[in-house]
Amino acid sequence: LQAAEVLGFTVHVSTPGGYEVDPAVAGVRDRGCYKVFNHPLEACEGAHLVTTDVWTSMGYEAENEERCKAFIDWCVDEEMMAVAQPDALFMHCLPAHRGEEVTAEVIDGPQSVVWDEAENRMHVQKALMEYLLLGRIG
């Protein structure tokens, strides 16, 4: 959301009730940089990029069963990708749980760029380490 605010694009957000985005926690001042949808299919309509993350992050394992029930309709599937732009991409920061937050057909499909995303993250991390350790890049 912060990138949308800085770079001037709009993010469509959809979460189950009780898991809404708190703008203060997300560090967003301009609430116009994102739109909230109650149904994930609506959020995917016309999207250029569809992304998701694990439903239960580290430190929240005790809530796993509750979260899996709450997010069951938020599994990114072929129907969601079909309402996005024809050239829309799918991203996930990995590791992914196939059949939970994304179907195997989507994460292994032609619109998925999860491995490119992981490789790019590695190069950014290397550049950050060089900058933090040596105070320079390149």
What local confidence, expressed as pLDDT, does residue 138 receive?
66
| CA distances for 42 relative to 15, 25, 52, 72, angstroms | 11, 24, 15, 16
CA–CA separation, 136 vs 138, rounded Å? 7
* Domain boundaries, position 115: 39-134
With 0.85 as the threshold, say if the pTM is over it: yes
Tally of structural domains, the chain:
1
Q: For residue range 40-88, what is the model confidence (pLDDT) as tens digits?
A: 999 999 999 999 999 999 999 999 999 999 999 999 999 999 999 999 9
Structural domain includes residue 93: yes
Q: Write the CATH number for 103.
A: 3.40.50.1370
pLDDT digits (tens, 9 = 90+) for 83-128: 999 999 999 999 999 999 999 999 999 999 999 999 999 999 999 9
Length of the chain equals 138
